[in-house]
Amino acid sequence: GLTEKHIDVPELMKVLKFANTKIDILKPTFQSTYEKKYFTMQSEFCLSCITLISGGRYRSVPRHSAEILLCTEGSFRFRGLTGVASQGLKKGQSLFVAASVGEYQIKGSGKIYKAAIPSERLS
């Protein structure tokens, strides 16, 4: 809305569908004490919610895809276990974790959402 661009309202009206539909609410499955995973209809993507209370410590699996971590509550310390520098992460910040980082650890309290490729798809 802040840039000048063509707005084609008739085309928009053609592609929108104004009808009540059933919403499928995703229910998470616990992967560990701290991580709940939401499996989507697309097999190449999954979303996890990592919740830690003060003194909690999340440890990733050794082999994972590239991941995006988004902190929505609290503050954390991210540390790769194979020589990757420690990184702070607080509410509103995100962090890209390359697959080459390997196993990592998160300490702190709050909530982090993790977008990734499901480990079942890694080969």
Phi, psi of 13 (to 5 degrees): -65, -30
Residue 122, CA distances (Å) to 9, 43, 70, 73, 99 in order: 42, 11, 22, 30, 11
Higher pLDDT, 117 or 122: 117
Handedness of CA 100, 105, 107, 112 (dihedral sign): positive
Residues in contact with 82: Cβ distance below 8 Å, sequence separation at least 6, in sequence order: 101, 102, 103
- CB-CB contact of 66 with 116 (8 Å): yes
pLDDT at position 122 over 80: no
pTM of the model: 0.76
pLDDT at position 81 over 90: no
Question: How confident is residue 115, by pLDDT bands cut at 50, 70 and 90?
Answer: very high
Q: In this predicted structure, what is the pLDDT of residue 42?
A: 79
| 3-state DSSP assignment of residue 38 | strand
Q: In this predicted structure, what is the pLDDT of residue 26?
A: 85
